[in-house]
Structure 1
């Protein structure tokens, strides 16, 4: 399953977030979570990533690693192709 992971930095943690990112290169996700892409908002301590995982424990562990400096919003998403199939099935059932 694919997810959009959005984060917003806590203003009091900006220096800590910068130091950790520089030290870890952004700490890639653990086994069980595949990062498909990550983007950062210019001039803000926020951004988003698209990840793929069927392992909620691994997803939780990953965001908990950064939970002291960011708040997170994680949304399940589907592709156009997956949506098209779901819509076709819905229309067929009418």
Structure 2
């Protein structure tokens, strides 16, 4: 299953989070991180993750929870959504 996680630094925690990121590279256990994107000039970004174990999402967000706020959204590809849309609108 694919997920998009949106993260945003909590006020006053950017430097501490940046140091942790530089030290660890923020690995994603039990999941395939397809991409991590940083919004230029902002304190937020997005991660696209593929996993069959949603507890991996929770673990990663909890590990960074001191520094960041998280929103996680399950998403489908066009190939996955197409048959569902066809079923509803056919």
Query: Given the two structures, how large is their TM-score scaled by the length of structure 2?
Result: 0.92
Confirm whether residue 55 of structure 1 aligns to residue 53 of structure 2. yes
Cα distance between partner residues in 1 of 2:4 and 2:57: 12
Cα distance between partner residues in 2 of 1:14 and 1:57: 25
**Structure 2 counterpart of 1:16:** 16
Cα distance between partner residues in 2 of 1:34 and 1:67: 20
Structure 1: segments with no counterpart, 5+ residues: none
Q: Considering only aligned residues, what root-mean-square deviation do their CA atoms show, in Å? A: 1.1
Aligned length: 90
Deviations 1:19-71 (A, max 9, x none): 0111112x11112x111111001122210011111212221111111000000
Structure 2: segments with no counterpart, 5+ residues: none
Listed as ranges, the matches of 1:62-81 within 5 Å are 62-81=60-79
